[in-house]
Amino acid sequence: MFLKLNHNNLYEIQCMCNLFFVGEKIEITKDRTKKEKAIFVKSFLYEKQNFFISKTIISINNFTTIATCKSKNKDKIQVKNLITRSFYFCALKQGEKAPPYGIIIGIRPTKIAVQYLLQGFSEKQTANILKSKYLVRQDKIELLFKTAKYSNSALALTKQNSVSIYISIPFCPSRCKYCSFVSHSIEKTHHLIEPYLQKLCIEIIETAKLVKSCALNVESIYIGGGTPTILSACQLEKLLFTIKTNYNLDLIREITIEAGRPDTIDSEKLKIINSFENIRICINPQTLNDAVLLEIGRNHTSKQFFQAYNKAKEQSIKNINVDLIIGLEKDSFASFKKTLNSVIKLKPENITLHSLCKKRASTYSEEGKTNAKTYDLAEKMQEYAINKLCKNGYLPYYIYKQRNTVDNLENIGFCKKRFEGLYNIFMMEELHTVLGIGAGAVTKIVNQKTNRIERLFNPKYPYEYLERFETILKQKKTIGDTYD
C-alpha cells in the first residue's frame, strides 16, 4: 500500500494501516501510475476558520472513500486523535472491520483507562471517553476496567525504589514458525551455550553489585528467552545458584522461569527450580492439537505437555502458567475449545491467551504468510475463552496489544486470585525500572519522579554478546548515575 501525507504524523498513519490492512507493506509515494490494484491512502491536515481539519482518502481498486474530522483543540494529542479518527471512519466506509480497541494504537490500552481514573474521572466518565474519543468497543472497555482493578491491587504492595530483573536465555530446541524473538535453535548454536552462561553469570553478579550500591529493591526476576530449560540440569543449577548467592531472595516477591517447551523439562530440572521460594514456571503447549503443533514447528506432542505438567505438580510447584495461542494455522474452533477446556481441567494458577502475531522476523513472514486476518474465527475463539476462564474463577490481570495480530486481538493474562504474574504487570505498567541481563535484554530505567523512561540495549545475538561483553559491563555501571 502507498501513502501520501502533508503532515509529520507518519507513525500514527502507519499504525492505522497496520490495524486495518494487516500485513500490507507500506511505502510513501507521490505517484500511483501502474499500481491500480494497490491500496492508496492520502492523509491531509489543514487549518480552516479556526478549526484543525483532518481528511483521509482511501482508494482500493478504484473504489474511493473520504472522511473528515475537525476540532478547535490544537494540542498535539488532539491532532493525532483527529488524524486517526478520520482514517478510522474512512476505512469503515471501505467495508473494513472496526478494530476492537478503536483508534488506540499503543501496546498498553489499560494505561489510558488508568490515567483518566487517576485524574479523578469516574468509571462511567472514563468509559464514555474510551467509547466516544477512542472508539473502543464496549466489551473491551469492561475488560480494561477489570484488568486495571486487579493489576492496581497487586501494584499497591510495591515498595519504594523497586526494580525487576529480566535474564535472557536466547536458545530453543527449535524455532517456532510464528516466533520473532531473538532465539536460536541449538542445532546451530549449542557450542555457544556454555561460554554464554559463563558471561551471563558475571553480568548477574555485576548487576547485583549495582542493586546493592544503589539500595534498590528487587521485587521480581524473570528468566526468559528462548527456552531457559534448554540448559542442562547442571547449567541450570549454576544459573540459579548465582542468583541465589547474590540477591536477597527474602525480599523478592516472585521468580519466574520459562519452561516453555515441554520437551526440555524433566524431574531433575524441576527439583532444582523448586529449591526457590515464590517460584513461578511457564509450561506452554500453545495448543494440544498435535497436527497444529507439527505445523507451527514445535517438536513435542500434547502428551509431553501433560507429562511435564504432572511432573511439576509432583514437585509441589505451586504457581504454573500455561500459554495458549489463538489463531494458529490449521487450528479450528473445535480444536481450540478442546485445548482450552483440557487446560482448565488441570487448574493451573495462570492461563495466558496470546493472539497469533505474524512479525517480519518470523518463519511465517519468510514463507509469505503475513496476512493475519482470520475472518472472525480468532475473535470467536477469544470470546469463548474469556467467558470460560471468568466462569472458572480466572481474573484478567494484564493486557498487551501488538501489531499484526489476528483480528486485531490482544494478549491477556488470566490468573487465580493472588497468583498474578507480577513481572508482567510491572512491564506493562512501566512503573519501575527493569534491569536486563543477557543477549537481547533491554534495561528500562524509569524515573519515578518524572515518569521518563531511558532504554539501554544489550547486543541481540549470543555471539555479539560474547564479543562485546566488556562494553556491556561498562554500560551497566552507568545505570548507577540515575540513582545518585
Pairing of strands 350-355, 395-401: unpaired
H or E element: which one contains 399? strand 395-401
For residue range 43-99, list pLDDT tens digits in order.
999 998 888 999 999 999 889 999 999 998 778 888 999 999 999 999 999 999 999
Q: Give residue 81's pLDDT.
A: 92
What CA–CA distance (Å, rounded) separates 99 from 107?
A: 14
What CA–CA distance (Å, rounded) separates 243 from 318?
A: 20
* 3-state secondary structure at position 398: strand
Half-sphere exposure of 234 (CA within 13 A, CB side): 3
Q: Give residue 359's pLDDT.
A: 60
Q: Are 152 and 144 in contact (CB under 8 A)?
A: no
H or E element: which one contains 251? none
How do the pLDDT tens digits run along the chain, 484 residues long?
A: 899 999 999 999 999 998 999 878 888 876 655 566 689 999 999 998 888 999 999 999 889 999 999 998 778 888 999 999 999 999 999 999 999 999 998 889 998 998 898 889 999 999 999 999 999 999 999 999 999 888 887 778 888 889 999 999 999 888 777 776 655 566 678 899 999 999 999 999 999 999 999 999 999 999 998 899 999 999 999 999 999 999 999 899 999 999 989 999 999 999 999 998 899 999 999 999 999 999 998 889 999 999 999 999 999 999 999 999 999 989 999 999 999 999 999 999 999 999 998 765 445 554 555 444 555 899 999 999 999 999 999 999 999 998 888 888 999 999 999 999 999 999 888 889 999 999 999 999 998 778 789 999 999 999 999 999 999 999 998 998 877 6
Question: How distant, in Å, are the alpha carbons of 51, 52, 80, 231, 348 from that of 47?
Answer: 6, 5, 14, 61, 56
What CA–CA distance (Å, rounded) separates 424 from 251?
A: 18
DSSP notation for 17-30: HHHHSTT---EE-S
Query: Cell numbers of 380, please?
Result: 470467536
Q: Are 472 and 458 in contact (CB under 8 A)?
A: yes
Query: Cell numbers of 123, please?
Result: 468509571
Query: Cell numbers of 182, please?
Result: 531473538
Q: Give residue 361's pLDDT.
A: 47
* 3-state secondary structure at position 341: helix
Question: How distant, in Å, are the alpha carbons of 71, 147, 333, 348 from that of 404?
Answer: 30, 23, 21, 29
H or E element: which one contains 336? helix 333-346
Strand partners of residue 408: none
Q: Are 330 and 291 in contact (CB under 8 A)?
A: yes
Strand partners of residue 206: none
Q: How many CB atoms lie within 10 A of CB 402?
A: 16
Task: Please list the helix, strand and coil fractions of the chain in percent, rounded to the nearest 5, in that order.
Answer: 45, 25, 35
Phi then psi dihedrals of residue 419, to 5 deg: -120, 25
Query: Cell numbers of 157, please?
Result: 504492595
Residue range(s) occupied by CATH 3.30.160.100 in the chain: 2-93
- C-alpha angle 170-171-174 in degrees, rounded to nearest 5: 135
Domain 157-476 sits in CATH 3.80.30.20:
yes
Query: Cell numbers of 99, please?
Result: 478494530
User: DSSP E strands: which ranges in 95-243?
Assistant: 162-169, 171-172, 184-185, 217-225
What CA–CA distance (Å, rounded) separates 202 from 224?
A: 18
User: DSSP E strands: which ranges in 117-203?
Assistant: 162-169, 171-172, 184-185
Residue range(s) occupied by CATH 3.80.30.20 in the chain: 157-476
What CA–CA distance (Å, rounded) separates 128 from 122?
A: 10
CATH of 2-93, one of 3.30.365.10, 3.30.160.100, 3.40.47.10, 3.40.50.300: 3.30.160.100
Residue owning grid cell 472491520: 97
Q: Are 48 and 37 in contact (CB under 8 A)?
A: no
> Would the CA dihedral through 262, 265, 271, 272 be positive or negative?
negative
Q: Give residue 372's pLDDT.
A: 47
Q: How many CB atoms lie within 10 A of CB 377?
A: 17
Q: Give residue 30's pLDDT.
A: 66
Q: Give residue 371's pLDDT.
A: 47
Nearest residue to 459 (alpha-carbon basis) of 475, 444, 446, 445: 475
What CA–CA distance (Å, rounded) separates 221 from 424?
A: 11
- Those residues whose C-beta lies under 8 Å from the C-beta of residue 186, and which sit 6 or more positions away, are 171, 172, 173, 193, 230
Pairing of strands 410-415, 395-401: antiparallel
What CA–CA distance (Å, rounded) separates 78 from 172?
A: 45
